[in-house]
Amino acid sequence: MVKGRKITGGKYRAFRKKKKYALPREERKVKLRKEKKKTITGRGGNKKSVLLSAESANIIDKETKKAKKAKITNVLETPSNRFLARQNILVKGAVIETELGKAKITNRPSQEGSVQAVLVKE
């Protein structure tokens, strides 16, 4: 069976073009560099601060329940895509190496203006 065709051989056709609100924005990849932010205007004039690159993270230690700001030195692994770790791209779920030790990113840095992480026991 050919992709995009019915069993009879007829084509599947879109019933309409995509509306402006349904179009995707340009993909943002947060890199490990000097911190850089950008403000985006959303629907209804709402403002959103997004991260383009970062060099530090807010790290929470579960045992002491304290938060500290630490410098990120390297991205060790990214479960969603191993190539992102090679390029030092910060995404949710990535394991990063910091001054305090290994930490796992718990938020989506490309959607928020900071990097939040939790210390991982080794």
What local confidence, expressed as pLDDT, does residue 1 receive? 60
Q: What is the pLDDT of residues 106-120, one digit of tens each?
A: 999 999 899 999 999
- pTM of the complete model beyond 0.85: no
How far apart, in Å, do the first and last CA atoms of the chain sit?
Answer: 51
Residue 27 sits at the vertex; the CA angle it makes with 75 and 111, to the nearest 5 degrees, is 70
The pLDDT tens digits for 19-59 are: 988 888 888 899 999 999 999 998 899 998 999 999 999 99
Q: Residue 31 forms beta bridges with which residues?
A: 53, 89
Check residue 90 and give its pLDDT: 95
- Residue scoring higher pLDDT (103 or 1): 103
CATH fold of 25-119: 3.10.290
Return the H-helix or E-strand segment holding 88: none
- Going by C-alpha positions, the residue among 107, 118, 119, 117 that lies closest to residue 50 is 107
- The torsion defined by the Cα of 108, 112, 115 and 118, in degrees rounded to 10, comes to -60
